[in-house]
């Protein structure tokens, strides 16, 4: 990458304060094409999204469960504030239970994988 | 067997307590060359130990760089196991080593794991202590002046460049000049230099615990050193910390700090410890490698800006503690390898300025057969003279003067026949003094015998002996002196002095033995 993800995020947030989000987004896409970093656009957009959620006082939540059956998205979403972003992921490695990650660095791990790991440590 | 396993699992499951709690985690975002970049963990501490949960088990890492959006860490275990996306957890602990008396006689890695296949280190786990690898040096009030000698068993060092317990003396020289040999002799000599008598009339020297830290050395060399120590019965009071050239840079970087922590354990117990860092040039290289991989800005010779602080904070931990703190000491003998005798390179000048003196070894002298190849003119000990025994001080003053005069006249040796009698005598004395300072490897000489040998040379007892016979004849005289007048040597050893009465006895004995 020519510039780091954080540089793009900072630039976008700065630009969006001066113009509309749409104009800033257009400018960002043009810039990514110019620098050749368009292939990393997914990562950059997610980082921007995360920054915007945090700036509005929300949290970036990630909920992982082992199987689709237990994933009750609506029930989960009601537990959090509207400002929060809640993402869901199926991760069979967890075996059972749920793992919630907050802002990428706080974790509540209530999975069977974790319990088994502790048991056999 | 399977029944036993099932029973064990049943017990574990029955006793399992679920304590799910909120934890700080990070994710590995980049990994390579033993370095991992981790996102998250914004509350991580510098030097904190992390656990990377890889698919093949947990791998330890140390926090090195704390940046705005990520942390740069150095992987301690098998870096091949770590991949992008692995979760990382904080341990809340800084890197520490488990230390105890069980370490004596063992070869360990910088994390305290035994490497010598001699079984577990500690039989009694209650006597183990955790010592952090990074610790601040004792303060000014905790210290006292160096006052006890640390005899190396090498005549040239003990007489002209004396080392005190708690001192930092650099051993510097090119490759293959005998740097490690001096360090090994010092370790071996600690066995015979211990005096049990401590009282108003005796000045005792406690057994020194030795720690040999091998950084970036060949495994074969380390094995040879361990074998030598074993043969000389010196391994029982020695700990070998091994970080060979085959180990990762992170392990080599930690080795001197681990050695220092082990030394501090013994110092805090009131014992005297000696730590040898062999060598700090390779240690600086390993730190340079880590720093460059962590993208820290390179400075002179591509070393990072804090390379001086790295060695200063390590060597500053050598100290002589005051009586209230137990009176223990930690002596440091760092070794630096120079390239073509260039002492003005970056790392040598740094370490020269940090230490309390240096023993400078020269290739030219080594190849001339002067071994140990110590350049007495460039070698210096800044604080050791205050710890030198009175007996040695008495004989070495004259030795320094005679040798200095000899060095000035050395250029005229080839024209000796054209010189006046006085100059000829000075040259002859210098040649005999140089000869008496020669010594073989792994055979350190007790301090009292050194005193007698130097006394003989400086007082003209060897002047009429051929230069090539000086060593053998002086050895024979000392051997006979030990057999026939052992009380003289004993008194020098016990009192550390050579009073008028002892000197008179020594004079008459030497006159008598010279004729034998």
Q: Which residues of B are catalytic?
A: 382
Question: Whole-model pTM above 0.90?
Answer: no
**CB distance B436 to B472 below 8 Å:** no
Interhelix angle B470-484/B447-458, nearest 10 degrees = 120
Residues composing chain A: 121
Helix, strand, coil share of chain B (percent; to 5): 45, 20, 35
Q: How many helices (H) and strands (E) does chain A have?
A: 5, 4
Angle at A9 between CA A4 and CA A15, to 5 degrees: 130
Q: What is the mean pLDDT of chain B?
A: 91
- The DSSP bridge pattern shows strands B238-243 and B170-173 to be unpaired
Give the pLDDT confidence of B389-445 residue by residue, as tens digits.
Answer: 999 999 998 888 888 888 888 777 777 677 788 888 888 899 999 999 999 999 999
User: Are B22 and A107 in contact (CB < 8 Å)?
Assistant: yes
Helix (H/G/I), strand (E/B), else coil: B174: coil
A6 contacts in B (CB within 8 Å)?
68-69
Of A103, A106, A115, nearest to B22 by CB-CB distance is A106
**CA count, 13 A, side-chain hemisphere, A16:** 16
Of B12, B16, B41, nearest to A105 by CB-CB distance is B41
B26 contacts in A (CB within 8 Å)?
104-105
List the beta bridge partners of residue B172: B336, B360
Give the distance from residue A24's alpha carbon to the nearest chain B alpha carbon, in angstroms.
23
Which residue in chain B has the smallest CA separation from A101?
B25
- Mean pLDDT by runs of 10 across the 121 residues of chain A is 84 88 89 89 88 88 81 74 87 89 88 82 67
Touching B: A residues 89-118, CB under 8 Å: 101, 103-110, 114-115, 117-118
Angle at B108 between CA B104 and CA B111, to 5 degrees: 120
Give the pLDDT confidence of B336-353 residue by residue, as tens digits.
Answer: 999 999 999 999 999 999
Closest Cα to residue B384, out of B205, B152, B164, B158? B164
Of A103, A108, A117, nearest to B20 by CB-CB distance is A108
Residue B264 falls in which region: left (phi positive, over 0), alpha (psi -120 to 50) or beta? alpha
Q: What are phi and psi of A111, to 5 degrees?
A: -105, 160
Query: pLDDT tier at B206 (50, 70, 90 boundaries)?
Result: confident
B42 contacts in A (CB within 8 Å)?
105
Closest Cα to residue B86, out of B163, B27, B12, B166? B27
Give the distance from residue B302's alpha carbon to the nearest chain A alpha carbon, in angstroms.
25
Distance of alpha carbon B423 from alpha carbon B415, whole angstroms: 11
A–B interface: beta-carbon pairs under 8 A: 39
Has the ipTM of the complex gone over 0.95? no
Token look-up 């990393």 returns A40
Which residue in chain B has the smallest CA separation from A104?
B40
Of B13, B20, B40, nearest to A104 by CB-CB distance is B40
Which pLDDT belongs to residue A117?
80
Interface test with A, best of B14, B19, B22 (most A CBs within 10 A): B22
Give the pLDDT confidence of B238-270 residue by residue, as tens digits.
Answer: 999 999 999 999 999 999 999 999 999 999 999
Give the pLDDT confidence of B448-502 residue by residue, as tens digits.
Answer: 999 999 999 999 898 889 999 999 999 999 999 999 988 999 999 888 899 999 9
Distance of alpha carbon A79 from alpha carbon A82, whole angstroms: 9
Interface test with A, best of B40, B41, B54, B84 (most A CBs within 10 A): B40
More confident residue, A17 or B309: B309
- DSSP letters for B491-509: HHHHHS---HHHHHHHHHH
A110 contacts in B (CB within 8 Å)?
20
Q: What beta strand segments (E) does A1-121 contain? A: 60-65, 85-90, 97-102, 106-111
Touching A: B residues 69-88, CB under 8 Å: 69, 87
Which residue in chain A has the smallest CA separation from B23?
A107
Which pLDDT belongs to residue B245?
95
């Amino acid at each position: 990458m020519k510039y780091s993800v954080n540089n793009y995020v900072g630039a976008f947030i700065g630009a969006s304060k001066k113009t509309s989000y749409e104009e800033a987004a257009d400018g960002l896409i043009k810039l990514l094409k110019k620098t050749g970093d368009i292939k990393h656009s997914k990562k950059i957009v997610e980082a921007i999204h995360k920054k915007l959620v945090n700036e509005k006082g929300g949290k970036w939540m990630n909920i992982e469960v082992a199987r689709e059956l237990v994933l009750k998205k609506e029930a989960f979403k009601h537990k959090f504030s509207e400002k929060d972003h809640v993402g869901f992921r199926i991760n069979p490695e967890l075996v059972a239970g749920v793992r919630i990650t907050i802002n990428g660095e706080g974790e509540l791990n209530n999975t069977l994988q974790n319990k088994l790991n502790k048991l056999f440590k | 067997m399977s029944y036993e396993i099932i029973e064990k699992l049943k017990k574990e499951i029955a006793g399992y307590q679920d304590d799910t709690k909120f934890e700080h985690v990070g994710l590995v975002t980049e990994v390579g060359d033993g370095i991992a970049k981790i996102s998250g963990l914004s509350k991580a501490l510098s030097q904190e130990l992390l656990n990377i949960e890889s698919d093949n088990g947990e791998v330890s890492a140390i926090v090195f760089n704390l940046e705005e959006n990520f942390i740069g860490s150095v992987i301690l275990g098998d870096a091949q196991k770590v991949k992008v996306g692995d979760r990382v957890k904080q341990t809340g602990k800084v890197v520490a080593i488990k230390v105890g008396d069980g370490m004596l006689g063992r070869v360990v890695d910088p994390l305290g794991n035994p490497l010598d296949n001699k079984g577990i280190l500690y039989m009694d786990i209650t006597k183990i202590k955790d010592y952090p690898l990074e610790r601040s040096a004792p303060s000014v009030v905790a210290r006292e002046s160096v006052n006890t000698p640390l005899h190396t068993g090498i005549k040239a060092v003990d007489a002209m460049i004396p080392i005190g317990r708690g001192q930092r003396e650099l051993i510097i020289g090119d490759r293959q000049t005998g740097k490690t040999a001096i360090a090994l002799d010092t370790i071996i000599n600690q066995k015979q230099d211990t005096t049990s008598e401590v009282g108003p009339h005796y000045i005792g020297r406690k057994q020194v615990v030795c720690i040999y830290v091998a950084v970036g050395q060949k495994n074969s060399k380390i094995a040879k050193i361990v074998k030598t120590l074993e043969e000389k019965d010196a391994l029982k009071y020695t700990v070998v910390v091994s970080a060979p050239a085959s180990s990762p840079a992170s392990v080599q970087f930690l080795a001197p700090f681990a050695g220092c922590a082990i030394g501090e354990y013994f110092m805090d117990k009131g014992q005297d410890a000696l730590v040898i860092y062999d060598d700090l040039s390779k240690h600086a290289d390993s730190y340079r490698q880590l720093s460059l991989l962590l993208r820290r800005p390179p400075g002179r010779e591509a070393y990072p800006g804090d390379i001086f602080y790295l060695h200063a904070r390590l060597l500053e931990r050598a100290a002589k503690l005051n009586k209230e703190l137990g009176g223990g000491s930690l002596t440091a003998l760092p070794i630096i390898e120079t390239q073509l005798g260039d002492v003005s390179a970056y790392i040598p000048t740094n370490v020269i300025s940090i230490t309390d003196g240096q023993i400078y070894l020269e290739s030219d002298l080594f190849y001339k057969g002067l071994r140990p190849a110590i350049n007495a003119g460039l070698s210096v000990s800044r604080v050791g003279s205050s710890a030198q025994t009175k007996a040695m001080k008495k004989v070495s003053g004259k030795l320094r003067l005679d040798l200095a005069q000899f060095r000035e006249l050395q250029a005229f040796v080839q024209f000796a026949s054209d010189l006046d009698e006085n100059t000829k005598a000075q040259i002859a004395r210098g040649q005999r003094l140089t000869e008496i300072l020669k010594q073989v490897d792994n055979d350190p000489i007790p301090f009292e015998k050194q005193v007698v040998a130097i006394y003989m040379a400086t007082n003209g007892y060897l002047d009429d002996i051929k230069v090539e016979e000086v060593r053998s004849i002086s050895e024979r005289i000392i051997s006979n002196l030990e057999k026939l007048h052992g009380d003289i040597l004993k008194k020098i050893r016990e009192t550390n002095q050579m009073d008028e009465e002892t000197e008179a006895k020594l004079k008459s004995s030497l006159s008598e033995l010279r004729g034998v």
